[in-house]
Structure 1
Amino acid sequence: MSGPRNRAARTAPARRPALVVGAGGLIGRALCERMRAAGTEFVAATRDTPPLVRPDGTPAAALSAAGVVHYLATSVTPGLAETRPERVAADHETFVRMLDALSTVENPPLVVLTSTGLTVSESGDGLPCTEDAQALPKSAYARAKLALERELLSRAPLVPGMVLRMTNVYGPGHALRGGYGVVAHWLAAAAEGRPLELWGDPDTTRDYLYVDDAAAALAGLGPEAADLPFDVVNIASGEATTLGRLLGVIREVTDRELTVRLRPGRGFDQPANLLDVTRAHRFLGWRARTPLALGLERTWRALTGAGAAR
């Protein structure tokens, strides 16, 4: 569903505020900070506060008045998706309810869904996946994200939508959640003098994206993005990094003796999750600007209060 759009071009009225749903999360906070610094008008919300949909199923004022809705809200991690299907179902229902409400609006906002590259890369061959790669997700988490993508894109032309598939986003303030966010867990362990747990093969390859770069990609999307000739775009650093290399950079950044405990691989982990970012470079003029070492240094300093990174 990432090919040419099947709707006519639309132009949203100027100066409609953005709505950030999931403003309290890692990416949501960074996005709000970036828009605040740029003087961009926006409304911050969670999935439920303020309510986005009225009891009668119509959109609340903040939802219908938005020019762009950045949907970042989720309550599941890869680990939780495997064990708590009711949480997955609740997330899906909340998103569908919002889309159904927007389907009643005469000039609905562009809905930008932040998804995961796992929807396609789990079935890949270890090479960077394009947006047009076949989606054959193997994990419950990736299947849940793909279901949200399809709900959004199936609403065209009634609701304009854009899917941003991101890789492993990290940065200051990343909450520690089980089975999710190796950078946050490793830096927290280093700060507290605990062993770092490495699950699976040290040659497992990922793409780590600094949160400010992720926020920049989102902030660059206005209502006019509804007229782009595609509706899915990959957002990633474009740099393949093994867990072993990540560990080495963390050793350099923290300048501490680190103890590592090897753990067996988990069923939802894949050998490589990499995305091709040509489309983002060519059409959005976006590329990641933060090298891994610098992003890790900034995250470490924010965690330990060691002062500003260079």
Structure 2
Amino acid sequence: MSGQQTDTPLRVVVLGAAGFLGSSMTRFLAAQGHDVVAYWRQPRPEIEQLHGVTSVVGDIRDTWILSDAIKGADIVYHFASATYPSRFFSEPTAEYTEALSPLLVLMETAAYHGVRKIVFPSSGGTVYADTDQPRHENSATDPRSPYAIFKLAAEQLLGHATRRGQFASDIFRIGNPYGPGQRTRPGQGVLPHWIEALHHGTPIRVYGDGSASRDYIYIEDVCRLMAISCDRLDESNVFNLGTGVATSLEQLIHTIRRLLDKEFEVIHLAHRSSDIASISLSPDRLLALTPEYKFVPIEEGIRRTLKHHRLLCD
């Protein structure tokens, strides 16, 4: 790894610490010995009781609570969001009120308190144009929803603040994260929805013919690679956070069937016009900082996830 590494524990604030990415990152950073502030609307007892974790209850729009929470912080991971890719069908204004506007307040507050870096999770699965080639960070973008548009707008706002010297920022364009701890949310993540269906003995639902491909990345890889931001507090960059490999829904189903060694019903629904046919993210820029890094293979990640949900025994 390159950058300014430190053996001194950092004060890290994780906004949205109750969500899948936020809770996983909180656990990981606390295990690394950092002083972590878990900022959430609804605390998770199994996380707030971890050594090194301080709980702060508040909405990201609660400016006074937010200001107190990030005072003295070295770095802020911003996972707080109530929006999701498909929400634009019914609530297009939610992206501004619940995503972009709070980010502007966070940026102003972070600059005021001298926070050195903000880390932002963008969406590698929605911001790029639809091609059959792996996307690089300078590949063409073509956001097809307000969710993706505002992700790119957030990137630009953070980049502008960085150029002005207010703080450093790392943008991670994440593929499709999955793994233990992922809950079912509308419009996000096929695996938790499929696992829930398997538990209830109901059919798995697939939009389209199953050929749609995504870059699935195991949650442990997400945390380990996003943690490099703590080692380079004064540097800024945009990173793809994916494996570089696209896996189709059909392949996912085949892998689950093989691991469980049983059949289950699959229902195909109409293709959604907003869905990109195939996406894979070149991780070359990120791996230049971690050249020996090896991703968790998709079959191993699914095996661990099924085991966590007690669908698979040792």
Q: Fold match, TM over 0.5?
A: yes
Asked whether the equivalents of residues 52 and 63 of structure 1 are also in contact (C-alpha less than 8 Å), the reply is: no
Q: How many Å separate the matches in 1 of 2:292 and 2:81?
A: 25
The counterpart of 1:103, out of the listed 104, 111, 119, is 111
User: Does residue 177 of structure 2 align to residue 183 of structure 1?
Assistant: no
After TM superposition, the score normalised by the length of structure 2 is 0.85
User: Does residue 88 of structure 2 align to residue 81 of structure 1?
Assistant: yes
Q: How many Å separate the matches in 2 of 1:13 and 1:235?
A: 25
Aligned counterpart, 1:275? 281
Q: How many Å separate the matches in 1 of 2:63 and 2:216?
A: 40
Asked whether the equivalents of residues 64 and 109 of structure 1 are also in contact (C-alpha less than 8 Å), the reply is: no
Aligned counterpart, 2:212? 204
Shift of 1:83: 1.8
State the Cα RMSD in Å. 2.6
User: Does residue 32 of structure 2 align to residue 38 of structure 1?
Assistant: yes
* Matching of residues 109-258 of structure 1 within 5 Å: 109-121=116-128, 123-156=129-162, 157-222=165-230, 224-227=232-235, 231-258=237-264
Q: How many Å separate the matches in 2 of 1:184 and 1:305?
A: 12
Change (3 A) 1:186 1:53: closer
* 1:89-110 CA-partner distances (Å, limit 9, x unpaired): 12211111111122323x3220
Task: State the identity %.
Answer: 25
Of structures 1 and 2, the one with the larger relative CO (CA 8 A, separation 6+) is 1
* 1:138-167 CA-partner distances (Å, limit 9, x unpaired): 222211211221221111221211101100
Tell me the secondary structure at the aligned position of residue 226 of structure 1: coil
Q: Which runs of 5+ in 2 are unaligned?
A: 42-55
Tell me the secondary structure at the aligned position of residue 283 of structure 1: coil
Q: How many Å separate the matches in 1 of 2:297 and 2:5?
A: 36
Shift of 1:59: 6.1
Instruction: Compare 266-275 and 32-41 and name the one that shifted more.
Output: 32-41
User: Does residue 74 of structure 2 align to residue 67 of structure 1?
Assistant: yes
Please tell me the residue identity of whatever aligns with 2:93. E
Q: How many Å separate the matches in 1 of 2:222 and 2:132?
A: 23
Asked whether the equivalents of residues 120 and 170 of structure 2 are also in contact (C-alpha less than 8 Å), the reply is: yes
Q: Which runs of 5+ in 1 are unaligned?
A: 1-8
Please tell me the residue identity of whatever aligns with 2:78. Y
Aligned counterpart, 1:3? none
Shift of 1:36: 2.3
Shift of 1:63: 0.9
Tell me the matched-pair count.
295
Q: How many Å separate the matches in 1 of 2:112 and 2:188?
A: 36
Tell me the secondary structure at the aligned position of residue 258 of structure 2: helix
Shift of 1:19: 0.9
Tell me the secondary structure at the aligned position of residue 172 of structure 2: strand
Asked whether the equivalents of residues 260 and 312 of structure 2 are also in contact (C-alpha less than 8 Å), the reply is: no
Change (3 A) 1:100 1:119: farther
Shift of 1:10: 9.6
Asked whether the equivalents of residues 130 and 277 of structure 2 are also in contact (C-alpha less than 8 Å), the reply is: no
Tell me the secondary structure at the aligned position of residue 216 of structure 1: helix
User: Does residue 294 of structure 2 align to residue 294 of structure 1?
Assistant: no
Tell me the secondary structure at the aligned position of residue 108 of structure 2: helix
Shift of 1:286: 7.1
Asked whether the equivalents of residues 20 and 45 of structure 1 are also in contact (C-alpha less than 8 Å), the reply is: yes
Asked whether the equivalents of residues 245 and 281 of structure 2 are also in contact (C-alpha less than 8 Å), the reply is: no
